[in-house]
Amino acid sequence: MKKKRSKHEFRANTLPAMVTVGPMVLLLIFLVVAPLIFVAVMSFCQTDQYYNVVYKFTAENYSKLISPDYLKIYGQSILIALLTTIVCIIIGYPFAYIIARCKSKKKKLLYMLVIVPFWTNSLIRIYGWRTFLGSNGWLNSVLQNLHIIKEPVDFLYKTGTTVLGMVYCLIPFMILPLYTAIEKLDGSLLEASSDLGAKPYKTFLEVIIPLTSGGIFSGSIMVFIPCLGYFFVSNILGGGNTDMIGNLIERQFKSANNWPLGAALSIILIVVTLILVKIYQKLGGDMEDLGV
Amino acid sequence: MNNTKRMRKKMRNKALSVLFCVLVYLFLFLPISVIVANSFNATTSKPYMMWKGFTLDWYSKLFDNTLLLESFENTMIIAIVSTLLATVIGTLGAVGMYRYRFKGKGIINGLLYIPVVIPEIVIGIALLTLFSKVNIPRGMITLILAHVSFSVPFVIFNVRARLSGYDKSVEEASMDLGANRIVTFFEVTLPILAPGIGGGALLAFTLSIDDVIISYFVNGQTKTYPLKVMESIKSGVAPDVNALSTLILIGTIVLVTLTQSDILKRKGK
């Protein structure tokens, strides 16, 4: 009797569970978990004189991480990622607010228009900015022809340029969660607030902002973290002056060929990500809001 | 008197918000316009930035640039294959996670967020170190594997969103009427989940064709279209690359307008 039940259990639950969830679990184990564990292992490895990885324990890679040159780049990374997040909120919030409060047909079109630019490859769009801003770029030609400036101004290779590129790449990840949060806002609460005599700015600060803070938090996570790794933006627009931790990692794997050091640098990014996600959860953020 | 003042204030606010939106859209579309304009640029000297007049030459030259076309072909093959795989694996996974009991569900769920929140560069180098350790030659296969791994979670989240409003009793009805599990899955479950699956697949496809960072580490000698662009950046991106981008953009707009349905409502990353 008992055996029969377990056989039924197998056919009704265990077997279909294995068939459906199995491939996904294999994928997660072999293509997500294993590689990350392997990075952690490699961060403790040495290299021989030809820069081949030697599987012998060392903590040296981690001691290299606190060299002054690197510390400067971490500071720069945090500065750029922070500025990018703040600018994304300042532009993204009012923008998301305005389109989320439009009439439904118009709203859909305006929303689509945010997504359309992202159908063109991000690299080539960032290169578009370079063509526009460079010292012999289009903005300079226009300004010179209008006699606003005499000599070409180089807008490139500055912290601001990299922030501009980052904002450009990442702003949809701020706008979309804000849009969802603002769309859910109950209009009657806003009316109640103003009926009770609150000035618009007060309604905004004490009703609207707290009710949409979830969107601000998830948007900030989705902007800040990837920003640290977008090495191509600072490569193209910062030209080496605005290197970030992503650039350091890229170099170890592509030109300097010191994989263990690159792995140790990646561990920093993993730790930063975990800490930020924990803070996000502590603040009441829902992991599901980070997904889509 | 007071009323007209208020009206005027309202009008002013409205004008300001329209102006603000226009500025944001200008910002979003500025580099696109540069790309499109530069595809008609008659310049032939590097770095192809000076405007030298209008030409359509680059659109015909594009078809002689076999390396560029080949990279585009690679991108399409990788996107189609990885989207198909990710959609099948993700849909099955989402349904299984929703329906069956098993140990470690919470852990699996947590693991799904890793590719979403961890910076792409970390995923890229992690896959590179693993592929080189187990000696999988880098190329088409590693690119496809990598693309499947980062798009599966997005398919799952989309399908799951659809499952949350799902009524299990329709499946029971189907089974009561004599259909077996497999027939029920294809005839009842799948059609109900279709919008979620479609949305997830579309997302997987866009992520795949746009991916630079992860592909950059696992490609070996195989060049995808974004990697081809990356390669040409140092010497200046030639206008034929812009021409191809313009064609792709037009193609996507046409495709999306034709298939415009609720699939697109959920499109995020």
Is the pLDDT assigned to residue B45 strictly greater than 90?
Answer: no
Where does the pLDDT of residue B14 fall: very low under 50, low under 70, confident under 90, or very high at 90 and above?
confident
Those residues whose C-beta lies under 8 Å from the C-beta of residue B269, and which sit 6 or more positions away, are: A172, A173, A222, A292, B154, B203, B207
- Residue A3 included in any domain: no
Those residues whose C-beta lies under 8 Å from the C-beta of residue B247, and which sit 6 or more positions away, are: B59, B62
Q: What is the pLDDT of residue B268?
A: 43
- Determine the structural domain holding residue A230 and report its residue range: 67-291
A153-183 as b/e, with b when 16 or more CB fall inside 10 Å? eebbbbeebbbbbbbbbbbbbbbbbbbbbbb
pLDDT digits (tens, 9 = 90+) for A127-142: 999 989 988 888 888 8
- Residue A192 included in any domain: yes
CA distance A176 to chain B (A): 7
Q: Which of A33, A112, A250 sits opposite B111 (nearest CB)?
A: A33
**CB within 8 Å: A35 and B100:** no
**CB within 8 Å: A121 and B149:** no
pLDDT digits (tens, 9 = 90+) for A220-251: 999 999 999 999 999 999 988 899 999 999 99
**CB within 8 Å: A291 and B93:** no
Q: What is the pLDDT of residue B269?
A: 37
Among A15, A18, A21, A106, pick the best mutation site for testing chain B contact (most B Cβ within 10 A). A21
Cβ under 8 Å to B: A residues 199-228? 221-222, 225-226, 228
Dihedrals phi, psi of A250, to nearest 5 degrees: -55, -45
Choose between A277 and B49: higher pLDDT: A277
User: Cβ contacts (< 8 Å) between B203 and chain A: which residues?
Assistant: 292
How far apart are the C-alpha atoms of A282 and A276, rounded to whole Å?
10
pLDDT digits (tens, 9 = 90+) for A139-171: 888 888 888 888 888 888 899 999 999 999 999
Q: Which of B111, B119, B248 sits opposite A273 (nearest CB)?
A: B119
Q: What is the pLDDT of residue B267?
A: 45
Q: Searching chain B, which residue's CA lies closest to the CA of residue A255?
A: B217
pLDDT digits (tens, 9 = 90+) for A107-117: 888 888 888 88
Cβ atoms of A166 and A230 within 8 Å: the answer is yes
**CB within 8 Å: B213 and A230:** yes
Dihedrals phi, psi of A47, to nearest 5 degrees: -125, 150
How far apart are the C-alpha atoms of A242 and B62, rounded to whole Å?
34
- Predicted structure pTM score: 0.90
Among B57-71, B168-182, B190-204, the least confident range: B168-182
Instruction: Enter the DSSP assignment of A46.
Output: E
Within 10 A of A194 (CB to CB), how many other CB atoms are there?
Answer: 14
- Residue A18 included in any domain: no
How far apart are the C-alpha atoms of A162 and B246, rounded to whole Å?
25
Q: How far is CA B14 from CA A89, A92, A95, B75, in A?
A: 21, 18, 13, 44
CA angle A123, A128, A132 (to 5 degrees): 150
Q: What is the pLDDT of residue A202?
A: 84
- Residue A24 included in any domain: no
Within 10 A of A44 (CB to CB), how many other CB atoms are there?
Answer: 18
pLDDT digits (tens, 9 = 90+) for B94-145: 999 988 888 889 999 999 999 999 999 999 999 999 999 999 999 999 999 9
A99 interface with B at CB cutoff 8 Å:
yes
**CB within 8 Å: B130 and A122:** no
Name the percent of chain A lying above pLDDT 90: 55
Q: What is the pLDDT of residue A10?
A: 82
- Residue A253 included in any domain: yes
Is the pLDDT assigned to residue B190 strictly greater than 80?
Answer: yes
Is the pLDDT assigned to residue A276 strictly greater than 70?
Answer: yes
**CB within 8 Å: B153 and A291:** yes
Is the pLDDT assigned to residue A4 strictly greater than 80?
Answer: no
B137-147 as b/e, with b when 16 or more CB fall inside 10 Å? ebebbbbbbbb
Structure tokens that stand for B61 in this block: 């030259």
Among B141-145, B166-170, B188-192, the least confident range: B166-170
Q: What is the pLDDT of residue B144?
A: 97
Cβ atoms of A141 and B49 within 8 Å: the answer is no
The chain-wide mean pLDDT, for chain B, equals 88
pLDDT digits (tens, 9 = 90+) for B69-84: 999 999 999 999 999 9
Choose between B187 and A166: higher pLDDT: A166
Is the pLDDT assigned to residue A73 strictly greater than 90?
Answer: yes
Dihedrals phi, psi of A135, to nearest 5 degrees: -65, -25
pLDDT digits (tens, 9 = 90+) for B200-252: 998 899 899 989 999 999 999 999 999 999 988 877 888 889 999 999 999 88
Nearest to A258 by CA among A65, A46, A44: A46
Where does the pLDDT of residue B260 fall: very low under 50, low under 70, confident under 90, or very high at 90 and above?
low
Cβ atoms of B226 and B212 within 8 Å: the answer is yes
**CB within 8 Å: B21 and A31:** no
- Residue A32 included in any domain: no
Number of C-alpha atoms within 13 angstroms, CB side, residue A140?
A: 19
Q: Searching chain B, which residue's CA lies closest to the CA of residue A276?
A: B117
- Residue A127 included in any domain: yes
Q: What is the pLDDT of residue A83?
A: 98
Q: Residue A86: what residue type? A: I
For range B166-190, the mean pLDDT: 85
CB pairs under 8 A between A and B: 247
Cβ under 8 Å to A: B residues 227-246? 229-230, 233, 237, 241-242, 245
Please count the structural domains in chain A. Answer: 1
CA distance A261 to chain B (A): 12
- Residue A169 included in any domain: yes
Nearest to B82 by CA among B142, B160, B139: B142
pLDDT digits (tens, 9 = 90+) for A26-50: 999 999 999 999 999 999 999 888 8
Name the percent of chain A lying above pLDDT 70: 98
**CB within 8 Å: A173 and B269:** yes
The residues with which A46 forms a beta bridge, in sequence order, are A54
Domains and CATH numbers, chain B: 65-266 (1.10.3720.10)
The helix/strand/coil state of B126 is helix
Q: What is the ipTM of this complex?
A: 0.91
The helix/strand/coil state of A53 is strand
Which CATH number does the domain housing residue A99 bear? Answer: 1.10.3720.10
Where does the pLDDT of residue B181 fall: very low under 50, low under 70, confident under 90, or very high at 90 and above?
confident
A120 interface with B at CB cutoff 8 Å:
yes
The chain-wide mean pLDDT, for chain A, equals 90
Query: Under the phi-then-psi rule, with left for phi > 0, alpha for psi from -120 to 50, and beta for the rest, what region is A157?
Result: left
